[in-house]
């Protein structure tokens, strides 16, 4: 096992190091047309100072400047940023596309608007109805900020959050109440608060923004029955439609979690486009069944000049590492730790 761990560490390090050198070469041979890269973001920080307040779970959140660099990087490499409905019209298979999505509905996402305007590109904002309606901080942030204040380690915080991910929203609400008391869900500032109803309306009217469905209670859908999944998705659409006058036609599954029942509900409800959190590129043309589980990369807040080439090849450093393991040690994947953690 010791040896395997050493090999594991070695191959992973190698994947990252060599990737930075060889990815551009590979890209020049393989090309990168005929693909769509979709990225999901959570919070944006005005500056590092806001990040260091520890009011929201980091989740690879970016500063506004990093977001600017991110957009600029892909535009300079001839990517066209699109919105979900462009997928239905069909994309030019000789071109390369990217899409920006924000999950959850943080107020701080409004910081993206001047950048979208400057570059004349769209983005999708998947908002959680209940948090907006009740002005409730997100449960993972309530845990993160309180535990951080208590001096609990990052790993322990992560374990506590993970433990709740097999539960439904009412159980999670009870847990938050019992552990952090009445008022725990009141946001601490503009850093951790959700959008207000007025702000969601402003977003929906913004020429560069699309508002999408992220369920009513940020429901981790495979934990629910089919009827409950329907309620979560349809009530969120109704809420947003009543608020903005526009019924969302796309949905991002909270935490990217879905199963066959979820896909059935989404299809029956009339959604044409749905987003998972499976990392990878979407090859063009995208089949209609693939439109209901579009792959997305979590945006990486490290230097985009280093990480961009991984995405353009269709990998993260972690998934490239897994691919190399498959090639080097076929059939022995289960002997290795997975090498990536996702939230
Ligand atoms: Zn979410």
Q: What is the fold, at CATH topology level, of the domain defined by 32-301?
A: TIM Barrel (3.20.20)
pLDDT tens across 225-278, in order?
A: 999 999 999 999 999 999 999 999 999 999 999 999 999 999 999 999 999 999
CA atoms within 13 A on the CB side of 10: 7
Find the helix or strand (DSSP H, E) in which 182 lies. none
| pTM, entire model | 0.91
pLDDT tens across 154-163, in order?
A: 999 999 999 9
Give the Å distance between the CA of 150 and the centre of ligand 1: 25
Average pLDDT over residues 90-98: 95
Give the Å distance between the CA of 303 and the centre of ligand 1: 24
Give the Å distance between the CA of 292 and the centre of ligand 1: 17
d(CA 2, CA 125): 45
Whether residue 182 has pLDDT greater than 90: yes
**Residues in the 5 Å CB sphere of ion ligand 1:** 103-104, 254
d(CA 169, CA 257): 14
Whether residue 340 has pLDDT greater than 50: no
Give the Å distance between the CA of 116 and the centre of ligand 1: 21
DSSP 139: H
Domain ranges of the chain: 1-31+315-343, 32-301
**Which residues are within 8 A (CB) of 234 and not within 5 positions of it... i.e. 6 or more apart?**
269
Average pLDDT over residues 130-149: 97
**Which residues are within 8 A (CB) of 231 and not within 5 positions of it... i.e. 6 or more apart?**
216
């Amino acid at each position: 096992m010791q040896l395997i761990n050493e090999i594991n560490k070695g191959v992973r390090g190698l994947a990252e190091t060599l990737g930075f050198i060889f990815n551009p070469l590979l890209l020049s041979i393989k090309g990168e047309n005929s693909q769509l890269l979709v990225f999901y973001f959570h919070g944006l920080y005005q500056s590092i100072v806001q990040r260091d307040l520890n009011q929201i779970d980091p989740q690879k959140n970016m500063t506004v400047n990093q977001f600017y660099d991110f957009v600029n990087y892909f535009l300079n490499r001839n990517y066209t940023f699109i919105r979900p409905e462009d997928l239905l019209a069909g994309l030019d298979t000789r071109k390369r596309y990217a899409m920006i999505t924000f999950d959850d509905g943080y107020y701080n996402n409004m910081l993206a608007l001047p950048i979208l305007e400057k570059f004349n590109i769209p983005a999708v904002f998947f908002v959680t109805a209940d948090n907006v309606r009740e002005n409730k901080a997100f449960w993972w942030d309530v845990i993160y900020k309180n535990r951080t204040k208590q001096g609990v380690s990052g790993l322990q915080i992560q374990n506590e959050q993970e433990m709740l991910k097999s539960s439904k929203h009412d159980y999670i609400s009870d847990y938050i109440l019992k552990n952090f008391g009445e008022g725990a869900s009141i946001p601490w500032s503009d850093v951790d608060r959700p959008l207000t109803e007025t702000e969601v309306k402003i977003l929906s009217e913004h020429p560069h923004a699309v508002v999408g469905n992220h369920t009513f209670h940020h429901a981790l859908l495979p934990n629910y029955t089919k009827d409950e999944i329907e309620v979560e998705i349809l009530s969120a659409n109704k809420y947003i439609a009543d608020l903005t006058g526009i019924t969302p036609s796309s949905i991002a599954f909270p935490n990217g979690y879905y199963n066959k029942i979820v896909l059935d509900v989404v299809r029956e409800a009339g959604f044409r486009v749905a987003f998972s959190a499976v990392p990878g590129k979407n090859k063009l043309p995208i089949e209609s069944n693939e439109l209901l589980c579009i792959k997305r990369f979590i945006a990486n807040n490290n230097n985009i000049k280093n990480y961009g080439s991984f995405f353009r090849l269709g990998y993260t450093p972690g998934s490239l590492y897994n691919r190399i393991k498959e090639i080097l040690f076929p059939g022995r994947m289960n002997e290795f730790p997975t090498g990536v953690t996702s939230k």
